[in-house]
Amino acid sequence: MSSTEPTSAPNRSLPDRLRSRFEGPNTIGDSRGFWVGFVVAVAALAVYPVFGDGSQLSLFMVLALLGLSLSVVWGYSGVLSFGQVVFFGIGAYTFGVVSINFATPGGITAAVVAGIVGGGLSAAILGYFMFYGGVRDVYVTIITLVSTIVMHTFMAQTAGSEWAIGEAALGGFNGMPDIPVLTLGVEGASYQFMYNPFPMRVIGIGSFELSPFYYLVLVLLVGTYLGLRVLVNSDYGRVMVAVREDEDRTEMFGYNVTRIKFVVFTLGGALAGLSGVLYAARNVYIDPTVFSLLFATLPVIWVSIGGRKSLLGAVVATLAIEYLRISMAGELALVLLGTLLLVTILVLPGGFVPWVHRQIVDARLGPGEAGGPDAPDASSEVSD
């Protein structure tokens, strides 16, 4: 065990007690060193727009939320879903439709909520259909993949003008343009996040114009990550992992496995829906490519390579892989991605981030010591 881990002595300080809710065997990092590094990383992200392309990074951070949604569902409950993009897309389109029809600050705020609800609700419907229908294992995966293709095919043929909800035309392959800029609040007390840079002056360095949208996404990403850390390290999180490891056995212990999968799947859908809302808000546009086979598999790629049982892995991998993908020439990037995915599944099925973490921990403990109980994919965690 790490020497800087908070003890369970009764007189622990408040910070230590708080910290222990974020730590546990299901996530990476429980040392002071980790949290220091975490704060540094967030600070770096906060100042990044000064030096680099904040608008590009904001896209990656939005997608990281999508990656987290799959990590929760797959890495922590064992449901491999190719369908996160369905809820992502529904969230995005819902946001688009509602905000186009009610282009006031209050309406747009409601649209954000509607998008998240849309994502969660569609996940609940599909989840109900599958889990309460007794569908298991790979057949769940296949159903999610088929659902994505259905959405893709369906949305692609909505080009005609009859395919409009109120003022919002779905637009088929052309997509839905002119989505109102993201504004939260109500008439008279609202704040616009897109195309509304706020100026900042730092003495000695200069003045900059910073995008509020970037910081909104950053706050949401960090908040979601921390929130999920608390969840998966809680009692409910331990049950989720138990479901991932052995459904039948968990059922025998008296847990309603079907309901757990359903709840987690719905949560994943809502999270994906949030990501979709932000995606549509950022691009002020949405089209059916979000339902394409390639886009559907991107979350699987990120999470597989990053480490499916690791929240941190999902975030890091999404940021890194999307950066690579954008910066390399199209075809070569995908060849590299395919190779990386292939090699990861075959050689390092646990993913990179857990592997790196284990190297760090092993180096810290020195030779002759075991990997320690904070290795996140130790399958002995919740079974006896």
Partner 1 sequence: MVNGINLALQFLDSFAFIVLAAAGLAIIFGIMGVINLAHGEFILIGAYTSTLSVTHLGIPLAVAIPIGGVVTALFGILTERVIISGAVPNYVSQRTLDRDIIEPLYDRLADSMVATFGLSLILTQGTRIAFGNSIDGLSTPFGPIEYGAFSYSTYRIVLAAVSIGLLVATYYLFTRTEFGMRARATIQDKETARAMGVDTERMYMLTFGIGSGLAGLTGALFAPVITMRPTLGDQFLVESFVAVVVGGPSVVLGTALSGGVLGAILAVFSNLYGTFIGRIALLVAALIALRFLPDGITGFIEQLRKRRQESE
Q: Is 73 in the site for partner 1 (CB under 8 A)?
A: no
Tokens of 382: 């919740």
345 binds partner 1 (CB under 8 A): yes
The smaller minimum CB distance to partner 1, of residues 42 and 156, is found at 156
The answer to whether 135 contacts partner 1 (rule: CB under 8 A) is yes
Select from 338, 220, 227 the least CA-distant residue to 279.
220
The window from 42-50, 96-104, 107-115, 328-336 that contacts partner 1 (CB under 8 A) reads 328-336
Asked whether the CA dihedral 48, 53, 59, 64 is positive or negative, the reply is negative
Candidates 195-203, 312-320, 338-346, 376-384; binding stretch for partner 1 (CB under 8 A): 338-346
Among 17, 37, 47, 139, binds partner 1 (CB under 8 A): 139
Q: Any contact of residue 55 with partner 1 (CB under 8 A)?
A: no
CB count within 10 Å of CB 256 equals 12
Q: Please tell me whether residue 227 binds partner 1 under the rule CB under 8 A.
A: no
- Restricted to residues 76-95, the positions that interact with partner 1 (CB under 8 A) are 80
Instruction: Determine, following the binding rule CB under 8 A, whether residue 130 of this chain makes contact with partner 1.
Output: yes
DSSP reduced 3-state for 186: strand
For residue 316, the minimal CB distance to partner 1 (Å) is 19
- Nearer Cβ to partner 1, position 45 or 317? 317
Contact flag: residue 300 with partner 1 (CB under 8 A): yes
| CB nearer partner 1, residue 41 or residue 345 | 345
Q: How many helices (H) and strands (E) does the chain have?
A: 14, 6
State which amino acid sits at residue 355: W
State the nearest-atom distance from the C-beta of 35 to partner 1, in Å.
32
Residue 161 touching partner 1 (CB under 8 A): no
Is residue 157 close enough to count as binding partner 1 by CB under 8 A?
yes
Cβ contacts of residue 128 below 8 Å, gap of 6+?
Answer: 262
- For residue 185, list its beta bridge partners: 190
**Is 289 a residue that touches partner 1 (CB under 8 A)?**
no
Determine the size of the site formed for partner 1 (CB under 8 A). Answer: 43
Could you tell me which of 224, 207, 208 has the C-alpha nearest to residue 216? Answer: 224
Q: Which stretch binds partner 1 (CB under 8 A): 49-57, 198-206, 263-271, 340-348?
A: 340-348
215-219 contact pairs (CB < 8 A, 24+): 215/46, 216/182, 217/58, 217/61, 217/62, 217/278, 217/282, 218/42, 218/45, 218/46, 218/58, 218/61
Q: Residues 222, 227, 232, 233: is their CA dihedral positive or negative? A: positive
Contacts with 91 (C-beta within 8 Å, 6 or more apart), sequence order: 115, 116, 118, 119, 272, 273, 274, 275, 276, 277, 280
**Who's near 366: CB < 8 A, 6+ residues apart?**
none
User: What is the nearest approach in angstroms of partner 1 to the Cβ of residue 129?
Assistant: 6
Find the DSSP H helices in 307-365.
311-327, 330-347, 352-365
Positive/negative CA dihedral, 314, 275, 25, 226? positive
Supply the minimum distance, in Å, between the C-beta of residue 347 and partner 1: 6
- Which residue in the set 204, 346, 363, 367 belongs to the binding site for partner 1 (CB under 8 A)? 346
- Is 335 a binder of partner 1 (CB under 8 A)? yes
| Type of residue found at 133 | G
Q: Which residues pair with 164 in a beta bridge?
A: 169
From the list 97-105, 108-116, 143-151, 369-377, the region that binds partner 1 by CB under 8 A is 143-151
Please tell me whether residue 136 binds partner 1 under the rule CB under 8 A: yes
Residue 68 CB, nearest distance to partner 1 (Å)?
Answer: 18
Residues in touch with partner 1 (CB under 8 A): 80, 129-130, 133-139, 141-143, 145-147, 149-150, 153-154, 156-157, 293, 297, 300-301, 304, 330-332, 334-335, 337-343, 345-347, 349
